[in-house]
Amino acid sequence: MPVDESRSEPAVRARAGIEDVALAAGVSVATVSRAIRGLPNVAVATRERVLAVAAELRYQADPAAARLAAGSTRTVAVGVPDPATWFFAKVVGGIERKLLAAGYDLLLSGIPDAAHRSRFLYMNAPGGRRCDASILVNVALVPEEAGEAVADGHRLVTVGFRYEGFSSVTIDNVTAASRAVEHLISLGHRRIGLMGMVMDNAMNFVVPPMRRQGYLRAHEAAGLQVDPGIESVANSTSDASRVIGRTMLDSPDRPSAVFAMSDEQAFGVMLAAQDLGLNVPEDLSVVGVDDHDQSELIGLTTVRQGVDELGAMAAELLLEAIEGGTVRHVEVPTELILRSSTAPRRS
Amino acid sequence: MPVDESRSEPAVRARAGIEDVALAAGVSVATVSRAIRGLPNVAVATRERVLAVAAELRYQADPAAARLAAGSTRTVAVGVPDPATWFFAKVVGGIERKLLAAGYDLLLSGIPDAAHRSRFLYMNAPGGRRCDASILVNVALVPEEAGEAVADGHRLVTVGFRYEGFSSVTIDNVTAASRAVEHLISLGHRRIGLMGMVMDNAMNFVVPPMRRQGYLRAHEAAGLQVDPGIESVANSTSDASRVIGRTMLDSPDRPSAVFAMSDEQAFGVMLAAQDLGLNVPEDLSVVGVDDHDQSELIGLTTVRQGVDELGAMAAELLLEAIEGGTVRHVEVPTELILRSSTAPRRS
DNA sequence: TTGAAAGCGCTACCAG
DNA sequence: CTGGTAGCGCTTTCAA
């Protein structure tokens, strides 16, 4: 299968430039440029000839030169906290699919902290000329940044949260969470733990409070008190939640159910339960949010959000924004999916 | 949380150009360029002044212009079959981490088929001037492409398979697979099904045959016959493997164990077993390859490969290649991890 | 150590 | 409908 061919010459085979095409087609470079980009004012015959020659020579405009001259980059920058995470990978997948079809390049950036966030914004601002627009996934902006971005005329679409001035795609986080908790309450649970996402003040201060609000709202609606003692936060990974979950569950008055802000966190809670010899759902009911790929096999009850769809929709809004379309906010629906991780409270 | 500020002027705030910096610092643009890029032949005092002014003006070189003039792009293209898949997301995560640190941009492309593969190669060839180098993850090349890439002086590193002429990072697929199957055999299993990855002739014709070879080798070493009747292939998703798995398992002489070429495929087999009312591991042992994030919770026995590490190593080799380093092949070790999805064959 | 000027390869304007 | 040509904003000789 592999191929051998001892790298003899690192000589980069010279590539045809627009001038070569012009020469070969017997027209000017201006005409080649117009013909290839499908601009008007080119005779059909001429266009065909140019296209044929270009194909023959495998001509491809130098993107850097085209950008410099035209100003547009045909590139979209996408920023996510961590590209290796299930949720973000799915979103990026959805974006990529649309962008590939539209002929845009996708520049992917990890945004682990506030410094990278501001760097991302600056680099990808219209003046930066690196991309035509950008998408920020679950990366909240502080007001100054948002204001500056708007002032800069930044073409930005956000997913996970919403800013006036930019298109966005979100879910109704409060409702999603309260729906999950209501389900638990309807099963007779009265002590319901919360496994929350850490609200690093610089990065993720939008989604967690909303989901927490849903948790509170469901309690309130049922006339139940919440116990801050069984409310914890962890990084939204399975491992971190497992560790934190262990301390929440390792107590005589442990909750009989836990609402986790994401499926991965729910997995962590299940692992914690397992570590302590507790059975799900007999000893502990668990519900998450996402409908992760493995949630069915694991039997996790969850509130489903179409993550891939989130990304695809974001890409669509972005393309609209590039075309000069209006700002739109899209809210993707969610759905409670019942599986085997939740059961009536044991009397 | 959101910010309002009715987008008054889409006016892109003019950004400082190199000339502005030169003016403000009282030097020429050439000096600014040298100073900022840390080139020699700039007086310390001058450099400091320029840097100060540049920071003040938030100057940032226009990447397109810099590319056009210098030829180098500070960009790396990464091609994966499907960016939304667990394995690829992890690899990309590892790459991204290293690249971010090295100050390179990452251009992500999905390569769903052979046409996109050849497009990727052409666009990202040195002559294309879109990137300085590229990484191809589990995308095999046909000989002509590989030869052309070498001839073009393509700076490429591959992960998952190996071509002479390019750096690569792989695992020993044959050994990984045979280790998994040996484990099954050691538990007394004699009829071991194979859930293989589909070998689309254009895309993925390297890894699956090697893992299959490991499967065969383990049988052979134990003096066992394989039964082609319990050898299937499916897309390497959980869902596809579930469907195919059902037909493999829905038979009186079904295997007592299955080796799946990836953990996600193993999950599919477990789902299939569940669909048919079979218990794992009592009625069926299952082993996979990867050590997926959810494999511990699911209790899947598997052959672990450090997927993030695969990506990080690829990025390192790439950076070396850009610096003009030598071609290297790295083989990342694997490890059998015993969990609860495998058990001795029931007599 | 510095500056002037010639491109990098293309697009866009304007004249024909 | 077509061609000439002036840049796009930077890097990189080459001279000073």
Strands B301-305 and B334-337: antiparallel
The CATH architecture assigned to B75-170+308-331 reads 3-Layer(aba) Sandwich (3.40)
**Residue B245 CA to chain centroid, in angstroms?**
26
Task: Nearest by CB to A110, from B12, B97, B116: name it.
Answer: B97
| Common-topology check for domains B75-170+308-331 and B173-304 | yes
pLDDT of residue A152: 86
Is the CB atom of residue A65 positioned under 7 angstroms from any atom of strand C?
A: yes
Give, in Å, how far the C1' of C11 lies from the CA of A69. Answer: 5
Give, in Å, how far the C1' of D15 lies from the CA of A206. Answer: 59
pLDDT of residue A202: 60
Q: Which of A121-130, A256-265, B88-97, B290-299 has the lowest mean pLDDT?
A: A121-130
Task: Nearest by CB to A267, from B94, B164, B297: name it.
Answer: B297
Tokens 């071609």 locate to B327
Give, in Å, how far the C1' of C10 lies from the CA of B201. Answer: 39
Q: pLDDT tens, B223-278?
A: 999 999 999 999 989 999 999 999 999 999 999 999 999 999 999 999 999 999 99
**Inter-helix orientation angle A44-57/A18-25, to 10°:** 130
pLDDT of residue B6: 32
pLDDT of residue A11: 44
Query: Which nucleotide is closest to the Cα of A20 by its C1'?
Result: C9
pLDDT of residue A105: 94
pLDDT of residue B277: 97
pTM for the whole structure? 0.92
Q: How far is B129 from chain A (nearest CA, A)?
A: 6
CB contact under 8 A, B63 and A130: yes
- DSSP string across B174-231: HHHHHHHHHHHHHTT---EEEEEEP--TTT--SHHHHHHHHHHHHHHHTTPPP-GGGE
Q: Percentage of chain B with pLDDT > 70?
A: 95
In words, the CATH class of domain A18-61 is: mainly alpha
B126 pLDDT above the threshold of 90? no
Spans of all domains in chain A: 18-61, 75-170+308-331, 173-304
Name residues whose C-beta falls within 8 Å of residue B271's C-beta, 6 or more positions apart in sequence.
Answer: A296, A297, B238, B242, B245
Q: Provide the number of CB pairs (under 8 Å) joining chain A to chain B.
A: 228
Measured to protein CB atoms, the chain D nucleotides within 7 Å are 1-5, 7-13
CB contact under 8 A, A153 and B297: no
CB contact under 8 A, B129 and A63: yes
Q: How would residue B4 be classed by pLDDT, with cut points 50, 70 and 90?
A: very low
HSE of A318 in the Cβ direction (CA atoms, 13 Å)?
A: 31
Q: How far is A83 from chain B (nearest CA, A)?
A: 5
pLDDT of residue B184: 98
Sheet of strand A231-234, all strands in order from the earlier edge strand to the far edge: A231-234, A192-197, A257-260, A285-290, A301-305, A334-337
- Average pLDDT value for chain B: 92
**Residue A251 CA to chain centroid, in angstroms?**
37
HSE of A1 in the Cβ direction (CA atoms, 13 Å)?
A: 17
B11 pLDDT above the threshold of 80? no
Is the CB atom of residue B69 positioned under 7 angstroms from any atom of strand C?
A: yes
Helix residue ranges, H only, B222-337: 238-249, 263-275, 295-298, 307-322
Question: For residue A129, which of A76, A74, A73 has the smallest C-alpha distance?
Answer: A73
Region B93-102 average pLDDT: 95
Is the CB atom of residue B40 positioned under 7 angstroms from any atom of strand C?
A: yes
Helix residue ranges, H only, B71-206: 86-102, 114-123, 143-151, 173-186
Tokens of A258: 């836990």
pLDDT of residue B206: 85
Q: What's the DSSP call for residue B30?
A: H
CB contact under 8 A, B65 and A65: no
Is the CB atom of residue B51 positioned under 7 angstroms from any atom of strand C?
A: no
Q: What residue ranges of chain A have pLDDT lower than 70?
A: 1-14, 201-203, 347
Q: How would residue B282 be classed by pLDDT, with cut points 50, 70 and 90?
A: very high
Cis previous bond, A209, omega within 30: no
End-to-end CA distance of chain A: 64
CB contact under 8 A, A96 and B106: no
Q: B173-304 domain in CATH 3.40.50.2300?
A: yes
Q: How far is B191 from chain A (nearest CA, A)?
A: 25
Which residue is the nearest neighbor of D9, CA to C1'?
Answer: B65
Sheet of strand B329-331, all strands in order from the earlier edge strand to the far edge: A329-331, A167-170, A156-159, A133-137, A75-80, A105-110, B105-110, B75-80, B133-137, B156-159, B167-170, B329-331
Q: Are B343 and B186 in contact (CB under 8 A)?
A: no
